[in-house]
Structure 1
Amino acid sequence: MTATGYPAIDRREFLVGALTVGVMAALPGVALAQAAGDPASEAVRRLMVLSTQSALTRLSQTNGFINSVVARFGLPVLFTKGAAAGTGVLAQSAFRMQLIQRLNQFAEAGARGAVPAMAEAARKLPITDAAAILRGRPTAATSALRLEMGSGLVNALRTPLEQALTAAQDPTVAQAIAALPGVTLSDVAHAIALSADNGIWYEIGADEADIRANPATANDPALSAALAAARPAIQPPVPQP
């Protein structure tokens, strides 16, 4: 859960939801033309776009990753494997903590750069059973989008990350690279993207759950109506004899 008070999302629940939606997405006969004329499909698409943009916008702010319980990441594998990682500055706890902070801060640039690709993926995603997603788990739409994108988020993060690293010429990152023969800024960008990937999806899932719990916060009447219609009807109490 983030520090912003979103409902807690159990990670096992998130993954189970992803697998469930994956089975639905594998069914044949899905066409974007059909989805475009289906209000439920459009509601799912809006839910995806809003939760994605909200999460990435928050993470792209100063210390967005560091302040997030689910998106903050530790030292990427690139800096922990091999003989070189166990000696010199990379073996020093204080330097490792400083490097973790800097890499999380660079991830903010990746989040900013990934917004267009994520929004485009949400708009183009074939939706097999929109009603099932609307009635589904709190992260059902996020799970569907993640399964469709595969490694797409990592790819969307890499270019803006490499650009930010190149422009900054950060001394902490430079020291870490100097300790690892053959490692480049491109390798560092990839390592950050891989480390940030899971946390970003959990952050998006938390936003989806928040929108579902409080539809009015989305400021989208059609989406609010679709979510309300998908909720099970409250049965009146049974009269006692």
Structure 2
Amino acid sequence: MAAPVVALAACAAPMGGFTPEEGVYRLLSLSSQRAFARLTQPGGFYDDQLTRIVPPAPGEPGSDVVAAVLRTNAVRNRVAFALNDIAVDAADRAAPIVIDSIRRMSFSDALALARGGPTAATDLLERQVGDALIEAMFPEFSMGLSGDAIEILGAIAGASGGSNYLALARAGSALASRSIFRAIGREEAAIRANPRATRDPAIIALLLGGGAY
């Protein structure tokens, strides 16, 4: 669990010869580092209203599975806890993908990202990553749900069989992916609100100017 965070920390280390691209790179690296540090703690998803995974509402992707499986509030709550617990472990699979995507990104208009909204860089990262996080986390959700509490097993078995595991696991993966980017976006917004607190000259120069570029 520590390795991805260490890798991201290295990305954020101060360096000379700053460019706008370097500033955005470090902004995303630090935002991701902080987000995964929170999410990979016990209760990292469930204890946070922003990232808590809630089973899909009617009309949302996966809601047909939820309607069939979550027949009572007791089962619904148990599944919600299970999804959020699984997401903590699944985030370990997601972190290297985010790190690699940041490293490979081309910031062709870095200054526009710097002057963009509070989550402009994160929004670009999410588009770059696409469905890769969903695919990476799906095995973790699939194994976690199929091996979890008796309440879940009984509910799914009574609904229509094992295919519900896969559909619910994919819905959970998609929800976890969105939660991860919400968490990164929140960290980006916080850095933008107070760049000097990072003590990273490249980020400070990017967001506040000062002639470094």
Partner residue, 2:8: none
Identity in percent: 34
Aligned length: 191
Tell me, in whole angstroms, the C-alpha distance in 2 between the residues paired with 1:162 and 1:56.
Answer: 21
Shift of 1:184: 5.9
State how 1:122-141 maps to structure 2 within 5 Å: 122-141=102-121
Tell me, in whole angstroms, the C-alpha distance in 1 between the residues paired with 2:61 and 2:208.
Answer: 46
Tell me, in whole angstroms, the C-alpha distance in 2 between the residues paired with 1:150 and 1:78.
Answer: 16
Partner residue, 1:175: 154
Task: Look up the equivalent residue of 1:191 and give its one-letter code.
Answer: A
Tell me, in whole angstroms, the C-alpha distance in 2 between the residues paired with 1:145 and 1:79.
Answer: 25
Deviations 1:187-227 (A, max 9, x none): 44322111223222222111101111122443423222322
Secondary structure of the 2:64 match is coil
- Aligned residue among 41, 65, 90 for 2:21: 41
- Aligned residue among 174, 195, 202 for 1:215: 195
Q: Indicate whether 1:158 and 2:138 are aligned.
A: yes
Q: TM-score, normalised by structure 2?
A: 0.76
Secondary structure of the 1:64 match is coil
- Stretches of structure 1 lacking an aligned partner (at least 5 in a row): 1-36, 231-241
Q: CA RMSD in A?
A: 2.8
Shift of 1:133: 0.7
Q: Indicate whether 1:193 and 2:173 are aligned.
A: yes
Q: TM-score, normalised by structure 1?
A: 0.68
- Aligned residue among 69, 77, 81 for 1:97: 77
State how 1:59-98 maps to structure 2 within 5 Å: 59-76=39-56, 80-81=63-64, 85-86=67-68, 90-98=70-78
Deviations 1:25-56 (A, max 9, x none): xxxxxxxxxxxx97111111111122122212
Shift of 1:152: 2.0
Q: Indicate whether 1:202 and 2:182 are aligned.
A: yes
Tell me, in whole angstroms, the C-alpha distance in 2 between the residues paired with 1:58 and 1:176.
Answer: 32
CA contact (8 A) 1:165 1:189 kept: yes
Tell me, in whole angstroms, the C-alpha distance in 2 between the residues paired with 1:165 and 1:217.
Answer: 41
Shift of 1:62: 1.1
Task: Look up the equivalent residue of 2:64 and give its one-letter code.
Answer: K
Secondary structure of the 1:158 match is helix
Task: Look up the equivalent residue of 2:202 and give its one-letter code.
Answer: A
Secondary structure of the 2:117 match is coil
Task: Look up the equivalent residue of 2:204 and give its one-letter code.
Answer: S
My pick for the range that moved more, 107-116 or 149-158, is: 149-158
